[in-house]
Structure 1
């Protein structure tokens, strides 16, 4: 399916651009369609699922007709669609809902991960261990059982036949600086090796601690998504402590793409990376006494 989140961002850009070309303020437009300025702001900033009737009124007020009217209304309908993640609501975590939405239509996913295994490759035990860590930082803003279930659903979607081409870089700190018990990490690393060996469209590379990276270091985990529709812009998302920062501006996306290439140039080969993951899994199994 097309990603409603991606289409909402496209719709937002279209509506804002149309209004500005008419030299009209958001207040003026809101009065023309008898809606609040907040409604216009939310639509133009992709902060809500669009009401198609409101979009029709906006297009009429801005004098949009013909094929352009039809194309934007189709976009609004796609932006208003619902996916499997909507049945979970915020019980799976609002940030994870966004990722599930974007992944549903991505044809390539490239990511650099500083502190944890990518969500779509985590075992339930690994995710549960991270939940226990979250509990030490304050009240949870999701339901653990639903969050873990949703993460496994995301894995099924991403690793399906015909799914997105995934190219992931794991900082060696992910496997050396333990955020979970040794047994859990050992099983997680074995799962990684088995999954990568099974799915040809999935690649995992390790970035060694001693790697020399030209042009500077990554300041956070980030993921880059591209989509089959060329009109859907490539998207780069930086994962920070409190929020995910989404970029679709070409200049910013290019910066992340170039950084990813520099990091990938410094990684070990995919084959060597799997060997190192297997060795680390065996070491951790020894620590766990298993």
Structure 2
């Protein structure tokens, strides 16, 4: 796990960066150069450049709406951009699942796609980047009981597509994953689904960029208390050796998501992750245990 702390190295904050990325994608989707878009807005090119890089200190909603009109965005996308423009810049910010961003604009997926490393602790379920389609389908069917089969299949397809960041040939994201033994023994979809899921984890863990370690029951509570799931998101560095985005900690719960950027929060989460990692089984014993539990599921079929 990368140990450098770049959380204060970049001056922009998460809502601003996400807005900038969103507007840049919209401009490129409209086939406009930065120079042309700035001219249509009667701006200097540097003004639009700073906005797209998330460096504008004060974002005016009317300016964002003007860009949306220039780019020909529909009402759904305009609503997402407007919501991002209205977010208060802060090192940590909270958005409820009921928030319009959650429904129209997936902040986490955008961040995940730009990372160079993800350190994941999961005590409840298999992380999305390691899930099989059957495992993901079972979870989504229970969590979204009112959705049609077509809608559920789109969700599963998105989950599988996201995994490309770790399995692509060129510069795949490095994954360091700590799973509690409870993740392996909590049955999702029945023994057949679980056996296939665990073997899938073993297969992925043989890749050079993916490390999966199991925290066994006998390890107890290495931090002295129960720890909820969290992900440390580290981003690549530019040609000058500076992170293109500050490190972010993402924590998920039933009521909402929290994104932490403050250096103290990031540092503490890194320390917690190191403590958990030190208490896990090594790579090969972890794979051996996962295979053993998979065989137990085979015997239950």
Is 1:95–1:244's contact at 8 Å kept on the other side of the alignment? no
Q: Are residues 45 and 278 of structure 1, via their aligned partners in 2, closer, same or farther at CA, if it must alter by over 3 Å?
A: closer
The TM-score normalised by the length of structure 2 is: 0.65
Q: Are residues 132 and 13 of structure 1, via their aligned partners in 2, closer, same or farther at CA, if it must alter by over 3 Å?
A: closer
Once the two structures are superposed, residues 61-80 of structure 1 have per-residue CA deviations (whole angstroms, 9 ceiling, x without a partner) of 9xxx998x586245159xx9
Describe the SS at the equivalent of 2:219.
Answer: coil
Alpha-carbon distance, 1:101 to partner: 1.3
Alpha-carbon distance, 1:253 to partner: 1.0
Partner of 1:276: 289
Partner of 1:285: 298
Once the two structures are superposed, residues 100-142 of structure 1 have per-residue CA deviations (whole angstroms, 9 ceiling, x without a partner) of 211211111101011111101111111111123224xx54599
Alignment map for 1:201-212 (pairs within 5 Å): 201-212=209-220
Once the two structures are superposed, residues 182-222 of structure 1 have per-residue CA deviations (whole angstroms, 9 ceiling, x without a partner) of 1101000011111212x111000001112144433343111
Identify which of 261, 277, 295 aligns with 1:248.
261
Is 2:18–2:54's contact at 8 Å kept on the other side of the alignment? no
Is 1:134–1:140's contact at 8 Å kept on the other side of the alignment? no
Q: Are residues 214 and 262 of structure 1, via their aligned partners in 2, closer, same or farther at CA, if it must alter by over 3 Å?
A: same
Mind listing any 5+ residue stretches in structure 1 that lack a counterpart? Answer: 1-9, 15-41, 81-85
RMSD of Structure 2 on Structure 1 (CA): 3.8
Alignment map for 1:87-106 (pairs within 5 Å): 94=103, 97-106=106-115
Partner of 1:232: 245
The TM-score normalised by the length of structure 1 is: 0.68
For CA contacts below 8 A with separation 6 or more, give which structure has more relative contact order.
2
Partner of 1:265: 278
Alignment map for 1:5-44 (pairs within 5 Å): 13=13
| Matched residues, number | 230
